[in-house]
Amino acid sequence: MSLPVQFLEFFVMLNHSFIMDEQHQRLEVKLRRVLGDQVLRLLEDNLAEDILLNPNGSLWVKRMGQGFSRIGEMPAAQAASALGTIAAWRGTVLNHEHPILETELPID
């Protein structure tokens, strides 16, 4: 007994969707771990407009009605891991040949 082609195509699409969902869940867990509690709290802060990381590792936040204030540091390896995870989530790479990643943070 052979299955109709449409069923097989549907099964492949469902399987691909399941794998992508599972991969995105793993990437989200990794990204949340790498960003750390401080950045995650800022992402939930309705007053936070921008979060910046300078090349020297200093972490800054701009809240509505205020200027930028320094809130801590993030080691270069941690920042590289977070950016690599975001790029992987978006199906791209971030390296010397492709140094720009234009995207929104893929977590809620």
pLDDT in tens, 24-82: 889 899 999 999 999 999 989 999 998 998 989 999 999 999 999 999 999 999 999 99
Provide the residue type at 72 as one letter.
G
Q: What is the largest CA-CA distance in the chain?
A: 69
pLDDT at residue 30 in the model = 93
Distance CA 106, CA 27 (A): 10
Give Cα 13 distance to the centre of its chain. Answer: 25
Domain ranges of the chain: 5-89
Of residues 36, 37, 35, 63, the one with CA closest to residue 49: 63
Sheet holding 68-73, edge to edge: 48-53, 58-63, 68-73
Buried b / exposed e along 5-37 (16+ C-beta atoms within 10 A): eeeeeeeeeeeeeeeeeeeeeebeebbbebbee
Q: Is the pTM of this model over 0.75?
A: no
